[in-house]
A = this chain, B = another copy of it.
Amino acid sequence: MTEKGIEEVHPVKRTTGFALAKVCKAHRGSVGGMLAEVGLHVGQEMVLIELWHCDGLRGGKLACRLGVEPPTVTKMLRRLEDSGLVERRPDPADARSFLVYLTEEGRALENPVVRLWERAEEKTLAGLDAAERRELGRLLTKVRAGLGAERN
């Protein structure tokens, strides 16, 4: 008998969302591995990216830009501070807040991180030609834009 059902795949696995999750996980894994070489954990580079773009952000603003909840930022900043990449200073305008500044070491990571993201990108998209890459980028950007009027 032909085992007709044996290669069947669950309906959820045939969704675009599922493929998205898998590809994202792979990409995250790539970035994570490379990031470990410069002493970062995946996700922490996002904080740095915001600060490279605009140093001295308030904690809450950072959470908002990252699209993440405040407690997440609290913990990440504590670790980044312990690693000496970031500095938290009181906000002179509001005693409840603080401002986050890069240290020299934090600033020094920008180029390595940019390069490593490029390498991860290349690794992830290795199976696509230039036109396909453009199209994938366009579609993801469009989806992102369509995901409500959310920031970041």
B117 touches A15 (CB 8 A): yes
Contacts A127-B146, A145-B127, A152-B22; is A16 near B137 (CB within 8 Å)? yes
Q: Does A135 contact B (CB under 8 A)?
A: yes
- Report the minimal beta-carbon distance from A117 to chain B, rounded to whole angstroms: 5
Question: Cα distance A136–B61 when bound, in Å?
Answer: 32
Interface 0/1 of A27-58, CB less than 8 Å to B: 11001000000000000010001001100000
Choose one: B25, B121, B132, B143; the contact of A125 (CB below 8 Å).
B143
Candidates B19, B26, B135, B152; contact of A141 at CB < 8 Å: B19
B147 touches A139 (CB 8 A): no
Number of copies: 2
Stretch at the interface among A4-12, A80-88, A92-100: A4-12
A140 CB to nearest B CB, Å = 4
Q: Is A73 an interface residue (CB 8 A)?
A: no
State A125–B145 Cα separation when bound (angstroms): 10
- Chain A binding site: helix, strand, loop or mixed by DSSP? helix
One digit per residue, 1 when the CB lies within 8 angstroms of any chain B CB and 0 when it does not, for chain A 100-144 equals 000000000000011001101100111110001101110111111
Which B residues are in CB contact (< 8 Å) with A143? 23, 124-125, 127-128, 136
In the bound complex, CA of A62 to CA of B86 (Å): 40
> Chain A interface (Cβ within 8 Å of chain B)?
8-13, 15-28, 31, 45, 49, 52-53, 67, 113-114, 117-118, 120-121, 124-128, 132-133, 135-137, 139-147, 150, 152
